[in-house]
């Protein structure tokens, strides 16, 4: 496999791992979210499940075995109330956006367009959850001292 194809497959697998984590995370969000945001959480959960399933098919189409979901994920903070659930939802979306930005860089053609669309969707959901936006979604974590992003974001 060429270096470019290997890089693309790693980014594809990282996106799949991030979607597994987001599906798990939205299970937690759904358990704590206030009633007035429950439909938003359900919609986001469904979107991440659909993306996860599509990525599984894409990885299989490359001839590789899709990365499996973990049995559980460490949350970045305790989610004890609706406000924390909203913060977790925004964090999930920001992390997913970061991983999709890596896939945009590593791919081309239809896969790149799909990754850009997934990045856009995650960025829009992050803004809806947090009420704040960034100039370049998916790149915020690269603004700090390290230019390396984790390949698989923990939930």
pLDDT of residue 142: 46
| Residue 132 banded pLDDT, cuts 50, 70, 90 | confident
Match 């970045």 to its residue by tokens.
Answer: 76
Flag whether pLDDT at 148 surpasses 70: no
Per-residue pLDDT tens over the stretch 7-58: 999 999 999 999 999 999 999 999 999 999 999 999 999 999 999 999 999 9
Q: How many CB atoms lie within 10 A of CB 41?
A: 23
**DSSP state for residue 142 in the 8-state scheme:** G
- Kindly state the greatest CA–CA separation across the chain: 49
């Amino acid at each position: 496999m060429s270096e470019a194809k290997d890089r693309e497959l790693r980014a594809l697998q990282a996106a799949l791992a991030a979607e597994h984590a987001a599906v798990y995370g939205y299970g937690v969000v759904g358990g704590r979210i206030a009633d007035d945001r429950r439909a938003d959480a359900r919609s986001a959960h469904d979107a991440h499940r659909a993306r996860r399933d599509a990525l599984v098919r894409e990885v299989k189409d490359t001839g590789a075995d899709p990365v499996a979901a973990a049995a559980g994920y460490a949350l970045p903070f305790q989610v004890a109330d609706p406000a924390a659930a909203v913060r977790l939802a925004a964090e999930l979306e920001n992390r997913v956006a970061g991983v999709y930005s890596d896939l945009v860089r590593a791919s081309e053609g239809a896969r790149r367009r799909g990754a850009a669309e997934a990045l856009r969707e995650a960025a829009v959901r992050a803004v809806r959850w947090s009420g704040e936006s960034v100039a370049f979604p998916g790149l915020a974590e690269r603004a700090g001292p390290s230019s390396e992003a984790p390949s698989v974001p923990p939930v």
